[in-house]
Amino acid sequence: MSDSNKLSVIELFAGVGGFRRGLEQANADLFEVVWGNQWEPSRKSQDAFECYVRNFDKGIHSNEDIATVPDDTFQELAPDIVVGGFPCQDYSVARSLSGGKGIQGKKGVLFWEIKRILENGNPKYVLLENVDRLLKSPSKQRGRDFAVMLATFRDLDYTVEWRVINAAEYGFAQRRRRVFIFAYKNGLSFEKQQKELDESCILFKEGFFAKSFPVEKEPFKNRIEMGNLPEDIVKISDEFSFNFHTSGIMRKGYIYTAHLVPELKKPITLSEILLDEDLIEEKYYLAPEAEAKFKYLRGPKKIERTSADGHKYHFSEGGMSPIDELDKPGRTMLTSEGSINRSTHIVEVNGRKRLLSPIECERLNGFPDNWTAGMTDRMRYFCMGNALVVSLIEIMGKRIEEIETTANDKLTEIQMNFSI
């Protein structure tokens, strides 16, 4: 159990600890990660977990399949907050012969593990991160997966806010778009305060995200949708679809969602995160043959292909700049960073083209230099491609602190009035 003056945190699917790093940067005296889980299935080498252990020395470090962790572990931990960047999977729900609800197939199990942890840990707050396509998936039933998630939170008595955030639009070094989901337990002081506001006021001005990531007063091209989730989560899985926009709120099953326009901040540019060239090892510079391959991969192309049933078609791909512009923030970094791949960053400095070094990739995500030192370059790139922008979590951590401080101030005021 944690100190009563701290907020105890469980970090799920922790990777190299981006959530924890961000929260500790926000206030290391307030946020106490009591249990962090990172496990890479089907891999003998657990590089991310080893990195996590090297960088954090407090709390329990769990390197086990989350599905094998018993319910009573979370009951005993009783966290205030659960955080994690969970995999985007299949959220189908089915009804068993006995009438119970279950999982259709195995792909959706990790989100249902989050549900199990919330049921047993009963946290006040939940902060999750995922790719923004979650809001639109699956393509054949648009919005179903996110609706299943929202219904799950509704049934567990949470209100949910979400926002798609591009880190570069709020001043950081990477054009990385991710959806962040903040859920808070109904009955908390924050929920009671928010309940007095209408949904548009929450999204545009007073909500969890709007306070820290300000937006323009009007949505993009008046894109606003409203609706209600069906009571039966199986019906949602089977039939429901919805046009979720980049921001929204769900309370008691009612959905209000809008496509918001951020108030832009000047981003950090690639040139600002680059190491001095005398610190760059020769292996990161492109040999002529690699340079030729990248030129082809990043150039326009039209290729004839044959499908499995023998049908011939043309695959077309537009061109992109042969090098990344140094006066702009980096593009979204993928797990294939550093390989000969169209998405890999290529910078040209002093007339020579090269890859980003692992340290520069760490800087794109806001980690300290050499955070992932100790593993191979390939794994350092992979871990940074999987990571989030730490500074965004720092901002969200400060917002949670503000919410908690406001709640405590109101409690103190009530206690003082009662004692008079």
Two tokens at 370? 């050499």
Residue type, 263: E
CA angle 363, 365, 369 (to 5 degrees): 35
- For residue 208 the two structure tokens come to 């969890």
Whole-number Cα distances in Å, 112 to 115, 165, 287: 5, 25, 47
* Half-sphere exposure of residue 251: CA atoms within 13 angstroms, side-chain side: 18
Active-site annotation holder among 88, 201, 361, 383: 88
* Distance in angstroms (rounded) separating the CA atoms of residues 326 and 267: 12
Is the peptide bond prior to 138 cis by the omega test (within 30 degrees of 0)? yes
Give the span between the Cα atoms of 121 and 249, in whole angstroms.
23
Give the tokens for residue 115: 């549900």
- List 125's β-bridge partners, or say none: 81, 184
Catalytic residue flag (residue 51): no
The structure tokens 């323009």 sit at 216
Residue 229 Cα distances to 54, 140, 223, 246, 341, angstroms: 44, 19, 19, 18, 41
Positions annotated as catalytic residues are 88
